[in-house]
Amino acid sequence: MSERKNSILVGAFVVGAIIVTVVGTLWFAGGGLGSERSKVVMVFDGSVHGLTIGASVALRGANIGQVTEIDVIFDAKQIAVTMLVTAEILTDSIQIVGAQADLDKLTNQQLIDSGLRAKLATQSMLTGLLYIQLDFLPGKEANLAKIDSPYTQIPTIPTELEVIRQSIETIDFGAISNNLQQIANGLDTLLNSDDMQALPSTLHSSLTAVEGAGSSLKKTLDDNSPALAQILQTGGETMATLRTELPRIAVSIEERLLRLEETLRTANEMLERIEVAASADSQLMRQLSQSMQDLSLTARSLRTLALSLEEHPESLIRGRKGD
């Protein structure tokens, strides 16, 4: 009898535990009694390794939902794989501010147009578990995948690591390797060329020549240092003399310029007087004109006398006829 009672107790305990587990699962999966839920879907092109059923959906760090499904979509035409993630959003965990009329007009498409985006984020670097982070990023382009789903699709953006990975994937490492190989071959050819092999001896000869030129220049300077010192001393004395004499020379030149200016002024006055005296209506010009007329008459008389003597030289003895 005791063994039968024990078996009944154990069975009752197991059934009770199963009921409690099922009820608890339904409770937490539904978000509690009376909670309002809405489903959304998100499509990720990259890996979702670390994202599990029940993972959190957060809006700027605040938990507002959880992941309910993770499906793989295989495009046979494009030979491409994408990850379809379905999540439940607990709307009662979001406090709505504003009139009910404004809330009724608000649609999911308006939220997306306002910049609502989803991306994968890391819960812990140690465990590698992921969650979905929602945020409003108006500057990010809304890329919606072509899927058949009754739920609203939230556009996704790649994580920082995915952006880095995509950038690395675009690098042509083969071309870089070929370029490095060509550079290495070129360096090998250059280093093994005859000119490069002869470079040490050429440099040695050049350094020897430079050293010899330096020694020769030093010797020349040493030999001519007294003359250079004398030249420098003479130049210094000349500059000192110039500094002393230049002011006096400048004063003398200034005095001579003043005298020249006075002389020019006197000459100008004399020229003005001569111009006045030589004018047509001046007394001097009238006297000169009368004198010129008298001289002209005298010259005409002398010319007549000379002609007469030339024709009748005897008139000097006999005199003119009729005298």
Cβ neighbors of 139 (< 8 A, separation 6 or more) are 115
Mean pLDDT of 6-25: 49
Structure confidence at residue 43 (pLDDT)? 92
Query: What b-and-e string marks burial along 143-175, b requiring 16 or more CB atoms within 10 Å of the CB?
Result: eebeeeeeebbbbbbebeebeeeeeeeeeeeee
**pLDDT at 175 > cutoff 70:** yes
**pLDDT at 238 > cutoff 70:** yes
Phi–psi pair at 94, nearest 5 degrees: -115, 125
Q: How confident is the model at residue 247 (pLDDT cuts 50, 70, 90)?
A: confident
Mean per-residue pLDDT of the chain = 76
Calculate the dihedral angle through the C-alpha atoms of 59, 157, 127, 85, rounding to the nearest 10 degrees.
80
Structure confidence at residue 84 (pLDDT)? 93
Spatial distance between the Cα atoms of 28 and 185, rounded to a whole number of angstroms:
67
- How do residues 263-310 score in pLDDT, each as one tens digit? 888 878 887 777 666 665 667 667 777 777 777 777 777 777 677 766
Q: How confident is the model at residue 319 (pLDDT cuts 50, 70, 90)?
A: low
Spatial distance between the Cα atoms of 273 and 4, rounded to a whole number of angstroms:
167
User: Do the beta carbons of residue 64 and residue 72 sit within 8 Å?
Assistant: no
Spatial distance between the Cα atoms of 59 and 145, rounded to a whole number of angstroms:
22
Spatial distance between the Cα atoms of 83 and 76, rounded to a whole number of angstroms:
15
Spatial distance between the Cα atoms of 163 and 228, rounded to a whole number of angstroms:
74
Q: Which residue has the higher pLDDT, 302 or 313?
A: 302
Domain boundaries, the chain: 35-169, 172-267, 283-311
Using a pLDDT cut of 70, give the percent of the chain over it.
Answer: 75
**pLDDT at 14 > cutoff 60:** no
Q: pTM for the full model?
A: 0.43
